[in-house]
Amino acid sequence: MSIQNEKASRLGDMLSRLERTNARLPCSAGLPTSPLPQLIRHVAKMLQEQINEDLRDTDLTYNNFHVLLMLYSSPDCESGVNPSVLSECSGETRTNMTRIIDDLVSRGLVERVHCKEDRRRIDLHLTESGIALVEHALPIIRRHAQTTFDVFEPKERAEFERLLIKLLSASPSLAPA
């Protein structure tokens, strides 16, 4: 079976499962059934797997790279970023963020620095190696993402981005406290 046929078969199987679920448990409390949550989950999983494959030669996972990228893109990059802020922004628990940071520190990609204004506070900084790794891996990931989303016409892609931003903007979990 070709890769294209295998993908089509898996997609057909997933959609059939969603249809069977909706047939077994139709509308609930007047709400229409929709495969959107499952479709979004599958797309996110596919993208994460692709990024993990792109990162294979770096021996990093998607979550580790995401933390490096958050540090790289932070407006506070020069003064450092607090681990709690990273935890909140990434949606990772503080425990998992500590594990990720410990791993990145042990690899020499991130360093912990005491804040000059408050010595109780620890801030994180990318090391030169961390910066170099982000600048090596990000173009690879971007090229793969471009290829992935080439199935859309430019107008469709812009509309898809607009709709995702609209959905995220309406999310209670992203609302300011």
Integer distance in angstroms from the first to the last C-alpha of the chain?
51
For the cut 50, the answer to whether the pLDDT of residue 19 exceeds it is yes
- Quick one: tokens of 158? 């812009």
For CA atoms 100, 146, 173, 70, give the dihedral sign: positive
Model pLDDT for residues 94-144, shown as the tens digit of each residue: 899 999 999 999 999 999 988 777 777 888 999 999 999 999 999 988 888
Q: Choose between 35 and 55: higher pLDDT.
A: 55
57 pLDDT above the threshold of 80 = yes
Q: 51 near 65, Cβ under 8 Å?
A: yes
Q: What is the pLDDT of residue 30?
A: 60
pTM for the model stands at 0.75
How much is the pLDDT for 176? 44
User: How many Cα neighbours within 13 Å face the side chain of 40?
Assistant: 8
What integer pLDDT is reported at residue 116 of this predicted model? Answer: 76
Average pLDDT of span 43-58: 88
Q: Give the per-residue pLDDT at 135.
A: 93
With b meaning 16 or more CB within 10 Å and e meaning fewer, what string describes 16-55? eebeeeeeeeeeeeeeeeeeeeeeeeeeeeebeebbeebb
* pLDDT score for 84: 84
Q: What mean pLDDT value characterizes the chain?
A: 83
Q: Is residue 67 within 8 Å of 90, Cβ to Cβ?
A: yes
What pLDDT sits at residue 158?
Answer: 94
Q: For residue 43, what are the CA distances in angstroms to 38, 71, 129, 159?
A: 9, 25, 31, 17
Q: Please check the confidence at residue 27 and state whether its pLDDT lies above 80.
A: no
Q: Which of 14-18, 57-61, 142-146, 165-169 has the lowest mean pLDDT?
A: 14-18
What amino acid occupies position 21? T
User: Residues 46-55: contacts with CB within 8 Å, 24+ apart?
Assistant: 47/145, 47/148, 50/144, 50/145, 50/148, 51/141, 51/144, 54/137, 54/140, 54/141, 54/144, 55/137, 55/141
Q: How many whole angstroms separate alpha carbon 168 and alpha carbon 152?
A: 21
At 147-176, the pLDDT tens digits run 888 999 999 999 999 998 898 888 776 544
